[in-house]
Chains A and B, each alone.
Chain A
């Protein structure tokens, strides 16, 4: 059984298979670090995290085998050979790294099946899909079991019950690191070493995460433009916001590093299948991700803001591919200036909306008094 490939895609990404191999080993490394940090918190968390990862990988393979053998009427053995080329394990492991510690094991299985079977394969298969399958899976998970997303091990499902009764689990481990609405971030928190593995297994300290991401960029397995533009735009918007709200520079650093930001930018946004082909297209894509992320962070309370932002940018990728060129001409200068005005304008818009929200909240409080 042969696997159909997108011709445009293979032309622009000749070393995609090698990149996937390296990416897989880097994800395994992140898993090991995450497991180690979980072990330092509690033995129960370590076992749960390991179970989530193993289940995700196995069920992603099974889902892909099922799809191939169903769709192409092949037997299991030839389907197994075919999936060694498509590597569904990467999607599975990414979902495991995006999921919180409290998610039930059956939830992981259903999410991975949904993501691999429908988002990855029914929407075109390898190098044809529109959306990043792992992100859609994580958002499906968050919409399906909202209770489990913001809590530690719950006694209502069996494995968690066994784990909580066998080992002692610290109660208050969930932080609000994703909710960067608070402007009075003060004190000297060591950003390099803080982690958020209970909220999202892949959110390990950026002192380990950042070198791994940079290794991918240096080896040219993925484009450096997307992370760079995203980071710079986040920095600009949060600088403007902190300037207005009187927050310290720590707030800016927080916005750029904490939570899932680095993981999502370096390992999910750069996916060559769902990001634009041209260099200028990548700039637009990065800016879009950053602006939507800041919108969601400040004006809403969703904890997976950056994932929604990446999904939104994925959706616009075909039109970016169609409308943007890498040729320098007069139109390019106008387009770049429009982009800069867009960044500044949206940050002022967020600022304005935020003050409106504050005003309405304060008026409600005074009415209640």
Chain B
């Protein structure tokens, strides 16, 4: 009976954290963290999903490890310790991916080893995992990872549809690739598309905040 109740409570907690991570504190569109992989790998949806899953894995594992050893880590050397943990995880991920998913490995390229310096991962380790319990840290890692991958997929969908006229992964072709805007699959278009999406999202958020203020008053 006790186990069931804990499960229910955890589920509620997880949902709440997921909502906070995806909507209120979205790592990409609200706090503008980790823009390098966001702009680099989102030229198609398949890459974005691969990157998202890698980040979820690394983030969850690093959060668990950091929160479980944080009691014994001296304050002065905590950042090097966290970096070592993250780098180990990324190296493992890289080796696994090279063996089992060589296509994704080549298309992600340099951005896969660069997960080590992804500021979301170090930021969550520093600000959340080192001060919280193992289970909460695991939840935090998964939810923030999901939020990050959802924003990657949103940006990649926007760019791929505009840039190639369809989504290659799902075999969808909306309009002819001759009429598509090639600019958006190039790196210049990444900045442009990100700017437009961030503009729309912050505009929506501001409107919502105004509405909430009116309701309160």
Contact flags B162-187 to A (C-beta < 8 A → 1, else 0): 00000000000000101101111010
Shortest beta-carbon distance, B211 to chain A, in Å?
14
Tell me which of B178, B182, B196, B199 contacts A143 (CB under 8 A).
B182
- Chain A minimum-CB-distance residue to B181: A144
**Chain B, 96-140, contact with A by CB distance < 8 Å: what is the 0/1 string?**
000000000000000000000000000000000000000000000
- Cα(A200)–Cα(B56), bound, Å: 50
A104 and B186 contacting across the interface, CB-CB below 8 Å:
no
- Is the pair A140, B183 in contact by a Cβ cutoff of 8 Å? yes
Q: B182 and A145: CB pair below 8 A?
A: yes
B176 close to A146 (CB less than 8 A): no
Min CB gap A326→B, angstroms: 37
Q: Which of A118, A140, A143, A154 gathers most chain B CB within 10 Å?
A: A143
Docked complex: A151-174 residues within 8 A CB-CB of B: 154, 156-157
- Which A residues, 99 to 115, have Cβ-Cβ distances below 8 Å to chain B? 104, 106, 110
Q: B183 near A156 (CB under 8 angstroms)? A: no
With a cutoff of 8 Å between Cβ atoms, the chain A residues found around residue B6 in the complex are none
Interface of A is mostly: helix
Q: Is B188 an interface residue (CB 8 A)?
A: yes
Verify A104–B179 contact, CB threshold 8 A. Answer: yes
A156 engages B176 (CB within 8 Å): yes
Give the distance in Å from the alpha carbon of A154 to the alpha carbon of B179 in the complex: 11
Q: Does A145 lie within 8 Å of B181, measured CB to CB?
A: yes
Q: Which residues of chain A come closer than 8 Å to B182, judged between CB atoms?
A: 143-146
- Select from chain B the residue with minimum beta-carbon distance to A110: B181
Q: Across the interface, do B176 and A143 meet the contact criterion of CB distance under 8 Å?
A: no
Pair A156/B188 contact, Cβ less than 8 Å: no
A71 CB, min distance to chain B CBs, angstroms? 10
A144 and B189 CA atoms in complex are apart in Å by 9
A35 to B203, CA, bound (A): 42
Across the interface, which residues of B come within 8 angstroms of A140, CB to CB? Answer: 183
A156 to B186, CA, bound (A): 23
Chain B contacts for A146, CB-based, 8 A: 182
Q: How far is the CA of A104 from the CA of B180 in the complex (A)?
A: 11
CA distance A145 to B162 in the complex (A): 12
Task: State A140–B176 Cα separation when bound (angstroms).
Answer: 19
A147 within 8 A of partner (CB): yes
> In this complex, what residue of B is CB-closest to A114?
B192
Residues of A near B176 (CB, < 8 A) are: 156
Q: Which of A104, A106, A140 has the most CB of B within 10 A?
A: A140
In A78-100, which residues have CB < 8 Å from any B CB?
A: none
Could you tell me the distance between the alpha carbons of A140 and B189 in the complex, rounded to whole angstroms?
Answer: 10
B205 to chain A, nearest CB (A): 16
User: Which residues of A323-340 have CB atoms within 8 Å of chain B's CB atoms?
Assistant: none
| Contact across chains for B179 and A157 when beta carbons are under 8 A apart | yes
In the complex the two chains form, what is the Cα distance from A156 to B180 in whole Å? 12
Determine the distance from Cα of A55 to Cα of B181 in the docked complex, in whole angstroms: 19
Q: Across the interface, name the chain B residue whose C-beta is closest to A71.
A: B203
- Nearest CB of chain B from residue A120's CB, rounded to whole Å: 15
Contact of A106 with B179 in the complex, beta carbons under 8 Å? yes
A143: chain B residues within 8 A (beta carbon): 182-183, 186, 188-189
Q: Say how far B75's CB is from chain A's closest CB, in angstroms.
A: 45
* Nearest CB in chain A: distance from B152 CB, A: 23
Bound: A30/B215 CA distance, A: 55
Taking CB atoms and an 8 Å cut-off, the chain B residues in 35-73 that contact chain A are: none
Instruction: List, in ascending order, chain B residues with CB within 8 A of A147's CB.
Output: 178
Residues in A whose Cβ lies below 8 Å from that of B189 = 143
Among B178, B179, B184, residue most surrounded by chain A Cβ atoms (within 10 Å): B179
Give the Cβ gap from B171 to chain A, nearest Cβ, in Å: 21
Q: Which residues of A contact B188 (CB under 8 A)?
A: 143
Residues on B with beta carbons closer than 8 Å to the beta carbon of A118: 196
A103 to B27, CA, bound (A): 39
B189 to A: closest C-beta gap in Å: 8
Within 8 A of A (CB), among B13-36: none
A145 to chain B: which residues have CB within 8 Å? 179, 181-182
| Residues of chain A contacted by B181 (CB below 8 angstroms) | 110, 144-145
Q: Which residue of A lies closest to B163 (CB)?
A: A144
List the 10 closest A-B pairs by CB distance, nearest first: A144-B181, A143-B183, A144-B183, A156-B178, A146-B182, A144-B182, A147-B178, A157-B179, A156-B176, A104-B179
Q: Can you name 25 A-B residue pairings with CB atoms under 8 Å?
A: A104-B179, A106-B179, A110-B181, A118-B196, A122-B199, A140-B183, A143-B182, A143-B183, A143-B186, A143-B188, A143-B189, A144-B181, A144-B182, A144-B183, A144-B184, A145-B179, A145-B181, A145-B182, A146-B182, A147-B178, A154-B178, A156-B176, A156-B178, A156-B179, A157-B179
Q: Which B residues lie at the A interface, using CB under 8 A?
A: 176, 178-179, 181-184, 186, 188-189, 196, 199
**Other A-B pairs beyond A104-B179, A143-B182, A145-B181, 10, CB < 8 Å:** A106-B179, A118-B196, A140-B183, A143-B183, A143-B189, A144-B181, A144-B182, A144-B184, A145-B179, A147-B178
